[in-house]
Amino acid sequence: MATDGKVVPLKVPNDEAASAPLARLPVVLLQVRDKAAQQLKEGLQALFDNADDTLFEMADKALNNVDQNTFFEAMRDLRLKRKNIERGFLEKFYESFVRIGQYEVGDIPSAAMTYDKLALVPNDELERTVALDAMVGKVLARDGLALTQLTTRLNTLVPRKLTDDSNPLGPAMLCEYFLQAGRSLGVEIKVKLIILKLFDKYVLSDTDHLYSDANHLLIATGILPELKAAPSRRAEDRSASARKRSAEAPVESPALRQPAPLDESVREVFSALQELLHAVRGSVAPKLDSHADAQPISTNDLLRLLSHLQQYVPANATSHEDYDLRYQLEQLLTRVSVKSGKFRVVGGVDEDVINLVAMLFEFILDDRNLPDSLKALIGRLQIPMLKVAVLDKSFFSRGAHPARRLLNEIATAAMGWSSRDESQRDALHARIEQIVQRLLNDFVDDPSLFSELLVDFLAFTGEERRRSELLEQRTRDAEEGRARAEMARMQVQSELNRRLVGKTLPHVVVRLLEEAWSKFLLLTWLKHGGHSEEWKAGLATMDQLIWSVAPHDDPHSRLRLLELVPGLLKSLREGLTSSAFDPFATSQFFSQLESLHVQAFQRETLGASLPDPANDPSMVQVVDEIVLEGSEPAAPTEANARLPEDDPALRQVDGLRPGVWVELQEDEETRLRCKLTAIIESTGKYVFVNRTGMKVLERSRMGLAQEFQRGSIRVLDDNLLFDRALDAVVGKLRKLNT
């Protein structure tokens, strides 16, 4: 064994420094570390050298100033913090070698990342985690053998047990160093994803050289030289050769990719599903024991058959009756049996997977919560999803599985599609169609393609969601403002009618109160509220005006009128000016009001006889209630039959919350899908928007209840599509087994 060398960490946490023994590593391991550090440093330098050009290009393509400024600020931030990030990355790298050289004192958690439970993290964190999952998966698929050999050799040199995830040179740990070093970057998630892609391109893309050099150094010092060196291959070479072998090799050829080994939790879930699936076995082809000479095909032969069928999936299958995968596979197996002269069947485990996926898609294609145009697209994903399930049984138990999550995200994003616009090919429909076509064309046996597509789709839907939420907020603000204005109008109308209806007053006064003073009162209510002193003062001025022009027999009225008029005229003039009433009409009104007040003084002073109001053309009797301009008529549903408060339909309406999706049957052929965005408490209105955030429907509480009672509206289930389908299938299988 070579002589030992001392590793001095660049930065040791206080708790570790106090408790951990000084790390001593073999010299060859120090050589591996230093050579790897030099390669990683060069990769980071290439990353930052190219980051400016990449971000500048993104800024140049930005659709608005906000995005452009975001990319320019990111360029500036990256330049300022480049040295700190490079230094922080290497510090974390050296610290990891210090840790593996220490004896295990207790259970120290691995720094490797975990990618499960993604449903519990925010959307931005989720996008980043899915991107990291895809990056790590790509390295493991390409250089997994070389990494495993390196981990095995390192385990002979260090006291701490290593795995591929905790290997200091493993992709999970390299990503963790970069994340830790870049914590100070104050950039948006879309910029972080771009930087992660650059890290993948300039650092992780060279892991084959990293692992090859490390393995050769260890082999040269006699560390497990019997392990056969892994061939150096690029990702594109691997994918191209896989597709070529898939097209050329016969059914009996060796496996290209073995199904992922099952851990304990995955095995338990799948075993439970297999017990339930016993009742439907034999639906793909006759069971093994029914033919003595039957031979099961291998899993990879099954994948090749599915890849063949994948190229002939119909484009417009909206139900499981339009395309029966099990029947198509049975026909293909029959042709293979005739051609090979051997009776071929699907193995038991693979048949269970086929039956389960087929039943899941039967539920999905019959689900009333999905628009028909989406069913046609999702139906085409049955074979790619089946191939993923064959390769990785955690597809059924892991909620954050990229393929499963991609299916859920597509269904969620398209929840708002309605028959009004199903024929329109908008950006979302085009993106989903592009994803489906990409999977049908490119997916052979590498599930990392789903992670890549999921990351891109999350970025796309995140941008669409931000735009729709902005428009939705504007819609809510506008509706709340309109409801407040309507409430103010109703209040002003009520005060006017309470004072004027049934009275005979000068026409000019009635006209002024209805056309001009009502606007002042409306603005006062909106600005200060119905309990403010300003509102009470406006009503008092109206009362004073009405009193000042009405006939009075009280001998003290003349004195009161003399005291009242100056302040009244001042209040009227200020109010009309603040409400921007026509100055010419204001001048005319004050001239006429002056004449009315003069006449009132003369009556009080000279005791002149009062004219008959019925014969006086300047007087008018207010008979009908005043309705201000802009008031909305009462909803016809409110005027019709009302439902009792304990009616189930009303309880269903009261259970609605903003964010719920509903489908309204507008006529025999048209269904409108919309989301409840606001409940206006002051008016009792329910406001609905489409998936872009535009208002498309408005209903009162009673009107909405009557829609529910007629059955013309129903609430859509916005729970995750795959989870709903799996629950339904499990329930169906349990019934079959009882």
Let me know whether 405 and 352 are in one domain. yes
Give 461-470 contacts, CB < 8 A, sequence gap 24+: 461/409, 461/413, 461/428, 462/123, 462/127, 462/189, 462/190, 463/190, 464/413, 464/427, 464/428, 467/692, 467/693, 468/691, 468/692, 468/693, 469/693, 470/693
Q: 710: domain CATH number?
A: 2.30.30.30
Predicted pLDDT of residue 20 = 40
Distance CA 359, CA 396 (A): 13
Contact between 644 and 702 under an 8 Å Cβ cutoff? The reply is: no
Higher pLDDT: 234 or 676? It is 676
On whether both 75 and 27 belong to a single domain, the answer is: yes
Identify whether the C-beta of residue 641 lies closer than 8 Å to the C-beta of residue 650: no
Return the minimum-mean-pLDDT range out of 125-139, 319-333, 587-601, 697-711.
319-333
Per-range mean pLDDT, top range of 89-93, 496-500, 574-578, 600-604: 89-93
Residue 628 lies in a domain: no
Cα(726)–Cα(188) distance, integer angstroms: 36
Of the candidates 558, 590, 621, which is a domain's last residue?
Answer: 621
Q: Could you count the other beta carbons within 10 Å of the beta carbon of residue 733?
A: 20
b (16+ CB within 10 A) / e for 680-695 = beebbbbbbbbbebeb
Q: Is residue 491 part of a domain?
A: no
Ranges 343-347, 474-478, 647-651: which has the least confidence: 343-347
Average pLDDT, whole number, for the chain? 80
Cβ-proximal residues to 132 (8 Å cutoff; 6+ apart), any chain: 113, 115, 175, 179, 196
Q: Write down the pLDDT at residue 249.
A: 37
433 and 509 part of one domain: no
Same domain, 13 and 66: yes
297 forms beta bridges with: 346
The predicted pLDDT at position 375 comes to 85
pLDDT in tens, 23-80: 567 888 888 999 999 999 999 999 998 888 888 788 777 777 777 778 878 888 888 8
Residues 270 and 228 in one domain: no
pLDDT given for residue 9 in this prediction? 44
Map tokens 């063949």 to a residue.
308
Q: Residue 14 pLDDT > 80, yes or no?
A: no
Amino acid at 486: E
Rg (CA), the chain: 38
Q: Residue 538 and residue 572: Cα distance in Å, rounded?
A: 9
pLDDT over 70 at 208, yes or no: yes
Burial of residue 321, with CB atoms counted within 10 A of its CB: 0-12 exposed, 13-18 middle, 19 or more buried = exposed
Range of lowest pLDDT (224-238, 365-379, 677-691): 224-238
Is 487 inside a domain boundary?
A: no
Identify which has the larger pLDDT, 146 or 115.
Answer: 146
> What is the Cα 241 distance to its own chain's centre?
37
pLDDT, tens digit, for every residue of 412-444?
Answer: 888 888 655 544 557 888 889 999 999 998 888
**Residue 508: predicted pLDDT:** 86
Residue 606 and residue 643 share a domain: no
Distance CA 372, CA 290 (A): 40
List, as one string, the DSSP characters of 301-358.
Answer: HHHHHHHHHHTT--TT--STTT--HHHHHHHHHHHHHHHHTS-EEE-HHHHHHHHHHH
Two tokens at 44?
Answer: 């980071």
238 has pLDDT over 80: no
Mean pLDDT of 239-260: 43
Q: What is the pLDDT of residue 713?
A: 92
Give yes or no: residues 650 and 707 share one domain. yes
Supply 661's token pair.
């999706």
**CA distance linking residue 340 with residue 349, whole number of Å:** 23
Q: b or e along 249-260 (b: 16 or more beta carbons within 10 Å of the residue's beta carbon)? A: eebeeeebeebe
Comparing C-alpha atoms, which of 139, 166, 171, 140 is closest to residue 155? 166
pLDDT tens digits for 639-664?
A: 455 788 888 999 999 999 999 999 99
Task: Kindly list the strands in the beta sheet with 695-700, ordered across the sheet, starting from the edge strand earlier in the chain.
Answer: 695-700, 685-689, 671-680, 661-665, 713-715
Tell me what pLDDT residue 284 has. Answer: 57
The answer to whether residues 596 and 643 belong to one domain is no
Q: Is residue 497 part of a domain?
A: no
Query: pLDDT-derived band of residue 172, with 50, 70 and 90 as boundaries?
Result: very high
- Does the pLDDT value for residue 333 go beyond 70? yes
Last residue of a domain, one of 621, 656, 684: 621
Q: What is the pTM of this model?
A: 0.58
Both 524 and 411 in a single domain?
Answer: no
Better-scored residue on pLDDT, 119 or 522: 522
Higher-scoring residue by pLDDT: 207, 668: 207
Extract the tokens encoding 481.
């403002």
Per-residue model confidence (pLDDT) at position 653: 92
> Looking only at Cα atoms, what is the longest distance across the chain?
131
In the predicted structure, residue 371 carries a pLDDT above the cut 90:
no
Residue 178 has pLDDT above 90, yes or no: yes
Which helix (DSSP H) or strand (DSSP E) does residue 672 occupy? Answer: strand 671-680
Query: Are both 555 and 420 inside the same structural domain?
Result: no
What's the distance, CA 594 to chain centroid? 66
So what's the pLDDT on residue 232? 52
* Cα distances (Å, whole numbers) of residue 71 to 86, 124, 705, 731: 21, 17, 49, 50
The tokens for 618 are: 């300047």
Residues sharing a CB contact under 8 Å with residue 633, sequence separation 6 or more, in sequence order: none
pLDDT at 15 over 70: no
Q: Is residue 251 part of a domain?
A: no
> What is the helix (H) or strand (E) element at residue 662, kind and residue range?
strand 661-665
CA-CA distances (angstroms) from residue 337 to 283, 286, 293, 351? 17, 13, 11, 17
State the residue range of the domain holding 196. Answer: 4-235
Tokens representing 84 are 């700190």
Q: Which residue has the tokens 């925010």?
A: 122
Residues 6+ apart with CB under 8 A from 282: 290
| Contact call for residues 71 and 63 (beta carbons, < 8 A) | no
Considering the domain boundaries, does residue 486 fall inside one? no
Q: Comparing 4-8, 299-303, 351-355, 544-548, which segment has the lowest mean pLDDT? A: 4-8
Q: How far apart are CA 63 and CA 382, in angstroms?
A: 36
Q: Are residues 86 and 101 in the same domain?
A: yes
What pLDDT is attached to residue 105? 47
Count CB-CB contacts under 10 A for residue 205: 16
Please report which helix (H) or strand (E) contains residue 257, including its range. none
Q: Is residue 249 part of a domain?
A: no
Residues 126 and 107 in one domain: yes
Query: In this structure, is residue 509 part of a structural domain?
Result: yes
**pLDDT tops 90 at residue 120:** no
pLDDT exceeds cutoff 90 at 406: yes
Other CB atoms within 10 Å distance of the CB of residue 603? 17
Q: Spell out a b/e string for 175-198, using b for 16 or more CB atoms within 10 Å of the CB, else e.
A: bbbbbebbeebebebbbbbbbbeb
Count structural domains, the chain: 4
Confidence at 389, pLDDT banded by 50, 70, 90: very high
The torsion region of residue 700 among left (phi > 0), alpha (psi -120 to 50) and beta comes to: beta
Max mean pLDDT among 276-285, 567-576, 620-629 falls in 567-576
pLDDT of residue 231: 58
Interatomic CA distance for residues 206 and 201, integer angstroms: 8
Contact (CB, 8 A) for 418 and 463? no
Of the candidates 89, 75, 10, 76, the one whose C-alpha atom is nearest the C-alpha of residue 45 is 89
Strands 24-26 and 295-297: unpaired
d(CA 355, CA 41): 50
Is residue 614 over pLDDT 60? no
